[in-house]
Structure 1
Amino acid sequence: MTLTPVQKKRLPLIVAAVVGLALIVGGVVWWQGKQRWEATDNAFVQADTTEVSPQIDGYVVEVLVADNQRVEAGQVLIRLDDADAKANLAQAEAQLSALQAGVQNVDARAEQEQAMIASRAAAVTQAQAQAELASQQVARYGQLAEKGWVSQQRIETERAGVRTAQASVAEAQAALVAEQRAAGVLGSTRNQSVASVEQARAAVDKARIALDRTVIRAPVSGVVGARGVRVGQYVRPGGTILSIVPLGDTYVVANFKETQMDRLRLGQTVEIKADAFKGEPLVGHIDSFAPATGSEFALIPIENATGNFTKITQRVPVRIRVDRREGAALRPGLSVEVKVDLKSDGTLSFAEAATGSMQTAEATTEVASR
């Protein structure tokens, strides 16, 4: 179709009008979206991964899980060689039995000692009776001697009998005291033996715990990852042998610019798009704000106190709670894009959340001081 000269003159105006209208419409759409959403593509899926480590050293005799296998809390993962642990437990139990027998022996000796104390006490009573009788005899013979009916020799004999009886009383009392002191020594010996028994019982418990630790169980439910243990391998305490990732409890950490934080609120709805999954976006909610920017947690913090300082917009990590049903598909480490719905209901802002945390800390300190 051939354009007339008039149409040719109007064509640039029409094109300019269309472009201008498109710019206006695009600007309106952009402005409305900017008022409705705060977005960032600097976001990643994370999970509270649990690293499993042995608590004792030993050789691995059995590995009961495979890579990427689902496990439940308490499920047996690995078995270590338990020969030494069983031997140590048997030795500790034998030592405990021997010390318990020692306590029973002390108890038997204590019962025998009580019988000896009773016998010595009876001997003291008998000696005192004999001494009292001898004293009465001396008194009677003394009255007879005054009337001349008893010789002086008989009086001396009776007096010697009194001294002998008194010596017997002293001897019996000394024997009683000796037996009582022996009983006290047995009491101290028993206390020492009982303490040794408790120490041996603790050794048995320790050996039993060591035997139980030859079986390594899953501390949490999740999926096995980074399994670096094999049968025959020698493992040591503290060394990571595998990890368990709780896929049902994944969350997103989105790094928002500090200029975006003013309009964010706790509890606001978040749309999450993962590159690994196509289709409808996942839904989550803002769970918490980090106490500092991401650079503060870096291994080498940025030092801006220099003469050539250039202001760089910092980013604040925001934790986003993903709906449990939808978050099961996410894997830690995936990159995602998040959009916060600013029109959705929220509670505390970034500044208010920090103030609330400070007030809570101050209240806790005040209660503790009281």
Structure 2
Amino acid sequence: MQQVKVNRHRQNIQDDGEETVESTPVYKKKRVLIPLFIFLVLIAAGVYWYMGQQGYISTDDAYIDGNRATLSSKMLGRIDSLAADEGDTVKADEKLVILDASDLRAQENSAAATINNAEESITLSKVNLERAKDDFQRAKSQFQSSIIPKEQYDHAARALEAAQAEYNIAVSRVGTAKAQLGIIKTNLQNGVIVSPMNGVISKRWVLAGDVVQPGQPIYTIYDTKNIWITAQLEETKVSSIKPGDYVEIDVDAYPDQKFNGKVFQIGANTASQFSLIPPNNASGNFTKVTQRVPVKISIDGRTKDSRNPVGKLSLLPGMSVEVRIKEGGVK
């Protein structure tokens, strides 16, 4: 009985060994095939990507751009009120900034009073001038008739000259006062700053009560009805594109959305020409760097409001994008 159990145990061990020997090649085969399959898939994906890139020029050095205007004051003044804040939609010629005009109003009143006084002086000096003319004509006639001596004639002539000078001064004062009043009125008009275009306030630089200098920014306004993409392309690639070429656009803010467009302008200068410190190669210290040329690209598929181009998506100036320009025209 014990011998039978030993034999059965040996038989089980032998069977297990045979199964292990038979399963080992299959396991090794799977270990080889799976990585090979993954490798082939990666190769196929790489080839597909490479073929898809042929005929395209791509760059991620691109952003959404648009017309913008910076509102500033033409004169020194304290801001009395601001009519809009960041994000507000404004219309062309809408009043946005009002400067304190109390000093200008006082100057306007003073200039008006000066004009009135000067005009009264003109009236009085004109009367004196007419009297001096009559006196001179009488003295001249009497002198020619030897009725009065030459001294009286000379005195009448000098009186006429003085009256004429007084009248001219009065007229000049009126002209000066009116010119001053005109400047004051112009400053009063400049104290009301309006929007130069339809758009959206993207930046408010000051607060009510601040004193602004001439040329100091107050608002920055973007025209959201007219946006495009500015792509900085290497100078070695610009010769392969032309206006009208088809463009595929990916906006970082909307990774699941696809946009299309067309090249409509290729820059006439490299971007470095407009940098704060343009390159100066005349010094002899020269390092050659591939320059970038700005290329403007339109965005297709927009609604009337460019802030909601496809559906309710907002394309805002400054957003990062990636573009793929089809060489040779339309896709």
Q: Report the TM-score when normalising by structure 2.
A: 0.71
Partner of 1:342: 327
C-alpha distance in 2 between matches for 1:317 and 1:104: 68
Query: Relative to total residues, which structure has the larger helix share, 1 or 2?
Result: 1
- The 5 Å alignment of 1:69-88 reads 69-88=88-107
Contact 1:103 1:193 in 2 (8 A): yes
- The 5 Å alignment of 1:72-111 reads 72-111=91-130
- Which of these residues, 262, 265, 278, is aligned with residue 287 of structure 1? 265
C-alpha distance in 2 between matches for 1:253 and 1:238: 27
Partner of 1:152: none
Residues 1:229 and 2:249 are matched in the alignment: no
Contact 1:45 1:251 in 2 (8 A): yes
Partner of 1:63: 82
Contact 1:294 1:317 in 2 (8 A): no
Aligned residues: 288
C-alpha distance in 2 between matches for 1:73 and 1:245: 12
C-alpha distance in 2 between matches for 1:32 and 1:325: 26
Contact 2:263 2:295 in 1 (8 A): no
Residue 259 of structure 1: SS of its match in structure 2? coil
Residues 1:331 and 2:304 are matched in the alignment: no
Relative to 1, partners in 2 of residues 1:58 and 1:305: Cα closer, same or farther, differing over 3 Å? closer
Which 5+ residue runs of structure 2 have no aligned equivalent? 1-25, 308-314
Residue 164 of structure 2: SS of its match in structure 1? helix
- Which of these residues, 22, 27, 34, is aligned with residue 54 of structure 2? 34
Which letter maps to 1:34?
Q
Residue 249 of structure 1: SS of its match in structure 2? strand
C-alpha distance in 2 between matches for 1:325 and 1:177: 88
* TM-aligned CA deviation for residue 51 of structure 1: 2.1
Partner of 1:123: 142
C-alpha distance in 2 between matches for 1:198 and 1:55: 25
Which letter maps to 2:102?
A
Contact 2:129 2:167 in 1 (8 A): no
Relative to 1, partners in 2 of residues 1:107 and 1:313: Cα closer, same or farther, differing over 3 Å? same
* TM-aligned CA deviation for residue 256 of structure 1: 1.0
* TM-aligned CA deviation for residue 335 of structure 1: 0.7
Greater Rg over alpha carbons, structure: 1
- The 5 Å alignment of 1:303-342 reads 312-322=289-299, 325=302, 328-329=306-307, 330-342=315-327
Contact 1:79 1:215 in 2 (8 A): yes
Which 5+ residue runs of structure 1 have no aligned equivalent? 128-166, 346-370
Partner of 1:206: 183
Query: Relative to total residues, which structure has the larger strand share, 1 or 2?
Result: 2
C-alpha distance in 2 between matches for 1:323 and 1:116: 87
Q: Report the TM-score when normalising by structure 1.
A: 0.64
* TM-aligned CA deviation for residue 203 of structure 1: 1.0
